[in-house]
Amino acid sequence: MADTASGQILRDKVAIVTGASSGLGRAVAVALAGKGAKVAMAARRMDRLQEVESVIANSGGVSISVKTDVTQRAEVKELVRHTEKTLGPVDILVNNAGTMYYTLMKNVHEDEWEKTVDVNIKGFNNSIGAVLDGMVKRGKGHIVNMSSDAGRRGYLGLAVYSGTKFYVEGLSQAMRNELIGTGIRVTCIQPGDVTTELFQHTTDTEAKEKYDVHEKTKILEPEDVANAVVYAVSQPGHVGVNEILIEPREAPL
Ligand code: NDP
């Protein structure tokens, strides 16, 4: 039962957050646990997950860490199996793990294109594939996909990344409509620039100098985006928050 009086509005809910070892995923995991959800956190860096686990435990929350490479379908299936055995059936998937490289198409950084597709598309699919059947059988569930404002507009220097986020948007729109009548909700969160480690992977200095402006204006904090996720998953059952576009005030779409 949700305990709204104490603010534990997600009490008894089980959530999986992929990419919880840093940035948005970390903030989302802490925020969901703060509202009473039991959270399974997935990523490859266990030391970082365990640090988040301590933060959550120190605030009286419940979480587990599961080492997972989302590009490996079997590992994601095992993440869900272990979560259900340990915490219970999954109510919420925050499909957040992702990567990004500023790069110009003409510079042909094909390895980075491939890594982006592997995590942002294949890993994204693997996560949905591992929870959806159970949600359909239980007649409830909420899939929150971490898209981007780059899922609404192709950004210069981010062509492949934007392409992957258009994929997230297209799949989410179709799936949301396909799942009408099943009790499952699908939300896309579309943040603009947020202070995370996402910007550290770029090797294409030409693209970075031209188009990476994240240090030039006040951008979002991970907690701003976590608040949007909490809003989406806290609405009454008949409400579908289809998408939330959240931008730095000084950098609108
Ligand atoms: P970070 O780099 O801080 O976090 C990325 C997370 O994804 C890490 O926890 C990382 O964990 C995880 N991850 C990457 N590859 C894999 C993998 N193969 N398997 C499992 N986990 C993986 O970036 P953000 O927090 O910013 O990014 C999170 C999401 O938010 C992404 O989908 C991104 O596209 C989206 N986003 C970010 C914005 C921003 O400006 N920061 C704006 C809009 C959207 P580990 O390395 O431990 O595996």
Largest CA-CA distance found in the chain, in angstroms, rounded: 56
CB distance 198 to ligand 1 below 6 Å: yes
DSSP states along 140-187: -EEEEEE--GGGTSPPTTBHHHHHHHHHHHHHHHHHHHHTTTTTEEEE
Paired tokens of 233: 């998953």
Domain membership flag for residue 166: yes
Residue 66, classed as helix, strand or coil, is strand
CA 164–ligand 1 middle distance (angstroms)? 13
Domain membership flag for residue 218: yes
Domain membership flag for residue 45: yes
Domain, as residue range, for 85:
14-246
CA 96–ligand 1 middle distance (angstroms)? 6
**105/96 Cα distance (integer angstroms):** 25
Which residue's CA is the nearest one to ligand 1's atom 36? 148
Look at residue 88 in the predicted model and tell me its pLDDT.
98
Look at residue 175 in the predicted model and tell me its pLDDT.
98
Nearest to 14 by CA among 67, 78, 85, 102: 85
Domain membership flag for residue 231: yes
* Dihedral over Cα of 232, 88, 122, 178: its sign: negative
**114/72 Cα distance (integer angstroms):** 15
Domain membership flag for residue 5: no
Q: What is the mean pLDDT of each run of 10 residues along the chain (253 residues)?
A: 74 97 98 98 98 98 98 98 98 98 98 98 98 98 98 98 98 98 98 96 94 91 98 97 97 94
Look at residue 4 in the predicted model and tell me its pLDDT.
64
Ligand 1 atom nearest to CA at 146: 32
Which residue's CA is the nearest one to ligand 1's atom 6? 19
Gap between the terminal Cα atoms of the chain: 39
Work out how many domains the chain is built from and give that number.
Answer: 1
Give the mutation target among 16, 17, 21, 24 for probing the ligand 1 site: most ligand atoms within 8 A of CB.
Answer: 24
Look at residue 198 in the predicted model and tell me its pLDDT.
94
**221/224 Cα distance (integer angstroms):** 5
Looking up residue 200, the CATH number of its domain turns out to be 3.40.50.720
Look at residue 2 in the predicted model and tell me its pLDDT.
59
* Among 101, 102, 155, 161, the one annotated catalytic: 161
CA 24–ligand 1 middle distance (angstroms)? 7
Ligand 1 atom nearest to CA at 19: 9
Domain membership flag for residue 3: no
* Dihedral over Cα of 170, 173, 174, 179: its sign: positive
CB distance 196 to ligand 1 below 6 Å: yes
Domain membership flag for residue 251: no
**What single DSSP character describes residue 120?**
I
Give the mutation target among 80, 198, 245 for probing the ligand 1 site: most ligand atoms within 8 A of CB.
Answer: 198
Domain membership flag for residue 4: no
Could you give the residue ranges of the DSSP H alpha helices within the chain? 23-34, 46-58, 73-86, 110-117, 124-138, 159-178, 205-211, 222-233
Look at residue 215 in the predicted model and tell me its pLDDT.
87
Residue 112, classed as helix, strand or coil, is helix
- pTM exceeds 0.95: yes
CA 69–ligand 1 middle distance (angstroms)? 12
CA 25–ligand 1 middle distance (angstroms)? 7
**Could you confirm whether 161 is annotated as catalytic?**
yes
CB distance 68 to ligand 1 below 6 Å: yes
